[in-house]
């Protein structure tokens, strides 16, 4: 059965390659723009295609394989049935009902009155908020400090803005057992040493993808102090803000004194309401900064789907009323994920793998260097170990994961090429199917 599935997948890949090669134009000039140099590879494109070809049990790409909550599905259906205006253009920088509900909701959290029309830009997912931030605020030659491991798109976005990415790693705390993402810390001295007169911004991601680190208030204060001292911007990607475990608390760096004016906070309705396909996100910050992101937005995407924005607005209005209660989805989702995280961790441990327990987010990474496999026929010769390993795992065992070196700079990826990432925002039956694969495999070793 596995052989037939693999054969069908191989034939599919060959057919697609032949089709792609069929139509090609030849130009006397260079066809592609130079800004594409060095940014053409994308781990999601590559590994979602692999998953589509081989149909494995999928703990790879980060999306829930269950439906969003009923209330938000109903809100979307209501929006679609809500009259002609729900099917037409809305305000470019965010549907009025959505920016008002976001402003009301987050004002309470940030402890600062957020202006719905000045301080918020609604975007096509967090991706587009990040893109607008880099394009609007990073100039040729500007340096951008990125904390590693990082969500991979920050690097190409800096490059496309003609900036220079400078990396500073989270490192295991000395003497720690390194079994929790909380053991990974940022050295204040190392971070400060990366600041130069060209530094424009520091990029952080809390809770972090892929490690699951949730920055503590003191760590954020240290970053904030540096931003204020050197007059830097802070881009903070907080798409997993509701997902924290075992008492870890998400703190918004924008809420620290002196940071609102210089922080762009990025969020995602896709992650907040388990509806990643809706692609509604936002950038939030002081109007004098956000106005520049709006220029990129108005000249590229203009706005995102009206009905989806209306539904997300209903979601936030509901969450505002229920905030902190057991009925709030922002309480319920982490409670459900807490169990799934434990389930995946014990499954990995039972087959001899040692996961790094995430304090937040919906990913878990583990070192696979103890697993002995022959990877010669998987991936290309110069590909890193984890890329080959993940390809082998999909093709030979029917389990999809993501290689962790994709979240590191070329300078440091070698140090982490024995780690792979599992996603646990999945039905228990999916996690059980993954467990069966791992157990069967460990018994045959």
Positions in the binding site for ligand PMP (CB under 6 A) = 62, 125-127, 151, 205, 209, 237, 239, 268, 270-271, 276, 281
CB of 254 or CB of 433, closer to ligand PMP: 254
User: Residue 86 has which token pair?
Assistant: 């729900």
- Residue 38, CB-side half-sphere exposure with 13 Å CA sphere: 14
**Least separation in angstroms between CB 156 and ligand PMP:** 13
CB of 132 or CB of 314, closer to ligand GLN: 132
**CB under 8 Å, gap of 24 or more: what pairs does 113-116 form?**
114/284, 115/287
CB of 40 or CB of 189, closer to ligand GLN: 40
CA 10 to chain centre: 30
Q: Where in 269-326 does DSSP place strands (E)?
A: 281-284
d(CA 124, CA 8): 35
Q: Which does 61 bind (CB under 5 to 8 A by kind): ligand GLN, ligand PMP, none?
A: ligand GLN
Site for ligand GLN in 194-233 (CB under 6 A): 209
**Least separation in angstroms between CB 252 and ligand PMP:** 15
Q: Where in 269-354 does DSSP place strands (E)?
A: 281-284
CB of 226 or CB of 344, closer to ligand GLN: 344
CB of 209 or CB of 309, closer to ligand PMP: 209
274-313 mask for ligand GLN (x: CB under 6 A)?
Answer: ----------------------------------------
Q: Which does 64 bind (CB under 5 to 8 A by kind): ligand PMP, ligand GLN, none?
A: none
Q: Which does 44 bind (CB under 5 to 8 A by kind): ligand PMP, ligand GLN, none?
A: ligand GLN
Q: Which does 155 bind (CB under 5 to 8 A by kind): ligand PMP, ligand GLN, none?
A: none
112's CB contacts (< 8 A; 6+ apart) are 254, 255, 260
**From candidates 5, 6, 12, 44, binder to ligand GLN by CB under 6 A:** 44
Task: State the Cα torsion 373-377-379-381 to the nearest 10°.
Answer: 100
d(CA 305, CA 205): 26
Phi then psi dihedrals of residue 54, to 5 deg: -100, -10
Answer for the pair 109, 252: CB distance below 8 angstroms, yes or no.
yes
Site for ligand GLN in 54-83 (CB under 6 A): 61-62
**Least separation in angstroms between CB 62 and ligand PMP:** 6
Answer for the pair 394, 51: CB distance below 8 angstroms, yes or no.
yes
Q: Which helix (H) or strand (E) holds 233?
A: strand 233-237
**Least separation in angstroms between CB 431 and ligand GLN:** 16
Binding residues vs ligand GLN (CB under 6 A): 44, 61-62, 209
């Amino acid at each position: 059965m596995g052989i037939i599935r693999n054969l069908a997948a191989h034939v599919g890949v060959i057919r697609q390659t032949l089709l792609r090669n069929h139509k090609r134009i030849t130009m006397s000039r260079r066809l592609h723009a130079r800004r594409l140099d060095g940014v053409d590879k994308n781990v999601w494109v590559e590994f979602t295609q692999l998953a589509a070809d081989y149909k494995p049990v999928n703990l790879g790409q980060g999306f829930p394989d269950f439906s969003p909550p009923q209330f938000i599905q109903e809100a979307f259906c209501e929006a679609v049935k809500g009259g002609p205006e729900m099917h037409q253009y809305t305000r470019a920088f965010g549907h009025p009902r959505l920016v008002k509900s976001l402003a009301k909701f987050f004002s309470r959290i940030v402890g600062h009155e957020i202006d719905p029309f000045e301080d918020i830009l609604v975007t096509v997912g967090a991706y587009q908020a990040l893109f607008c931030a880099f394009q609007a605020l990073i100039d040729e030659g500007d340096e951008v400090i990125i904390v590693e491991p990082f969500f991979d798109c920050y690097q190409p976005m800096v490059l496309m803005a003609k900036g220079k990415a400078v990396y500073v790693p989270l490192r295991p705390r000395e003497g720690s057992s390194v079994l929790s993402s909380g053991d990974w810390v940022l050295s204040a001295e190392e971070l400060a040493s990366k600041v130069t007169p060209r530094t424009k911004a520091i990029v952080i991601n809390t809770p972090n993808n892929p490690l699951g680190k949730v920055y503590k208030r003191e760590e954020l204060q240290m970053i904030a102090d540096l931003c204020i001292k050197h007059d830097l911007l802070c881009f903070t990607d907080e798409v997993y803000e509701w997902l924290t475990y075992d008492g870890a608390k998400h703190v918004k760096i924008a809420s620290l004194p002196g940071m609102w004016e210089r922080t762009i906070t990025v969020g995602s309705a896709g992650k907040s309401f388990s509806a990643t396909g809706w692609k509604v996100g936002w950038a939030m910050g002081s109007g004098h900064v956000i106005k520049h992101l709006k220029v990129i937005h108005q000249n590229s995407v203009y706005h995102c789907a009206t009905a989806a924005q209306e539904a997300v607005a209903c979601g936030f209005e509901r969450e505002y009323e229920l905030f902190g209660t057991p009925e709030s989805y922002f309480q319920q989702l982490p409670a459900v994920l807490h169990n799934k995280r434990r389930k995946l961790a014990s499954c990995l441990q039972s087959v001899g793998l040692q996961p790094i327990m995430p304090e937040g987010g919906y990913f878990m990474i583990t070192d696979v260097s103890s697993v002995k496999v022959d990877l010669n026929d998987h991936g290309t010769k110069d590909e890193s170990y984890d890329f080959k390993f993940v390809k082998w795992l999909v093709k030979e065992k029917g389990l999809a994961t993501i290689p962790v070196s994709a979240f590191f700079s070329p300078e440091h990826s070698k140090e982490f090429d024995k780690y792979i990432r599992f996603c646990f925002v999945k039905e228990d039956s999916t996690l059980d199917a993954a467990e069966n694969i791992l157990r069967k495999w460990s018994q045959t070793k």
